[in-house]
Amino acid sequence: VAMAATRNVMRAVRVFEFGGPEVLKLQSDVLVPVPRENQVLIKVHACGVNPVETYIRSGTYARKPSLPYTPGSDVAGVIESVGEHVTAFKKGDRVFTLETVSGGYSEYAVAAVNRVFPLPDKLDFRQGAAIGVPYFTAYRALFQKGCAKAGESVLVHGASGGVGLAACQIARACGLKVLGTAGTEEGMNMILRNGAHQAFNHRDPNYTERIKACTGPGGVDIIIEMLSNVNLDADLQLLSRAGRVMVVGCRGRIEINPRDTMSKESSIIGVSLFLATEEERRECATAVLDGIEAGWLKPVVGLEYPLEKVAKAHEDIICSSGARGKMVLLL
């Protein structure tokens, strides 16, 4: 055990070229990174897998890391060591992150101290790895960009994945009427258990009519949209006057009629957690930590993979039918 603590190499996933899931290479001789000032080193127990990581890996995303790199931002684990000037954490503390400096698909990861948060004992590491990007993104989409208010209605389009379930829990806790869509019976039951008042199957050809019947002539105030390249045109028909579609996810192009926005003065608003200011991130963190303490923020963990199966994880998060919670890698 003493040796393990002092060893200086680790297993980590490295990407040397952009491409398909096969470019994710697990290596066992990667140097353990050293935390600099205002950084911490975390022994990773679990790391979340986010769809955006597959876009970055493929090289089609606006942000391209310099090669080689290790993907992964949402880790949960235990502080191994701290850099200079770090007073908020000490060795042995349970934490989760929103972002890492060195990459999360690895046995150890360095993160800036202002992207690291305490992980309460009531949540396990798998749940800890399901908090960062999904909950911060959901909060940003609903409140910082969507200006949601208690009493408004929100449709979470693709509600059974990590961000979708986070949006359902947060919106319900904050007094919104929550509608959600999923592609399977299991997914629909899951969103009903996690804050949605009503669930719709988006594989049902008439599901948008059912949503309209549910919202009445007024329409829905906010749509949190995970697959805008498929749904945006239909979303514009579902909105209320001054309603807004929050574009959280997109996998391609779509044709819409801008006149649909004029008839209701509706808005299409892009959401990127990457563009949040330090102050906005702190606001997200406060809301998230309060939610954990209050007991309504309960991350739902979906498929779990060992680090060796990382390529399969990247394939499944894009191709599998019907998300059920947040996908995680276990270390």
pLDDT tens readout for residues 230-283: 999 999 999 999 999 999 999 999 999 999 999 999 999 999 999 999 999 999
Could you read off the pLDDT of 150-166 as tens digits, one per residue? 999 999 999 999 999 99
CB-based contacts of 40, cutoff 8 Å, min separation 6: 79, 80, 81, 82, 83, 86, 89, 95, 110, 111, 113, 116
DSSP 193-212: HTT-SEEEETTSTTHHHHHH
Please determine, for residue 223, whether its predicted confidence score (pLDDT) is greater than 60: yes
For residue range 14-33, list pLDDT tens digits in order. Answer: 999 999 999 999 999 999 99
SS3 at position 250: coil
- Tens digit of pLDDT for each residue in 67-117? 999 999 999 999 999 999 999 999 999 999 999 999 999 999 999 999 999
Whole-number pLDDT of residue 322? 74
Assign residue 103 a region: left if phi > 0, alpha if psi is -120 to 50, beta otherwise?
Answer: left
Provide the whole-model pTM: 0.94
Per mean pLDDT, which range of 41-55, 251-265, 297-311, 316-330 is the poorest?
316-330
| Residues belonging to the chain | 331
Q: Which secondary-structure segment (H or E) carries 62?
A: none
Residue 132's nearest CA partner among 220, 204, 50 is: 50
Amino acid 1: pLDDT: 45
Residue 121 in contact with residue 93, Cβ under 8 Å?
no
pLDDT band at 6; cut points 50, 70, 90: low
**Which CATH architecture best describes the domain 134-274?**
3-Layer(aba) Sandwich (3.40)
Quick check: do 9-130+299-330 and 134-274 share a fold? no
pLDDT of 8 higher than 90: yes
User: Any idea where the domains of the chain sit in the sequence?
Assistant: 9-130+299-330, 134-274
Instruction: Please spell the DSSP secondary structure of 173-189, one letter per residue.
Output: HTT-EEEEEESSHHHHH
Instruction: Please state which CATH number belongs to domain 9-130+299-330.
Output: 3.90.180.10
Inter-helix orientation angle 132-139/162-173, to 10°: 50
Let me know how many helices (H) and strands (E) the chain has, helices first. Answer: 11, 15
What is the identity of the amino acid at 110?
Answer: V
Mean pLDDT for the chain overall: 96
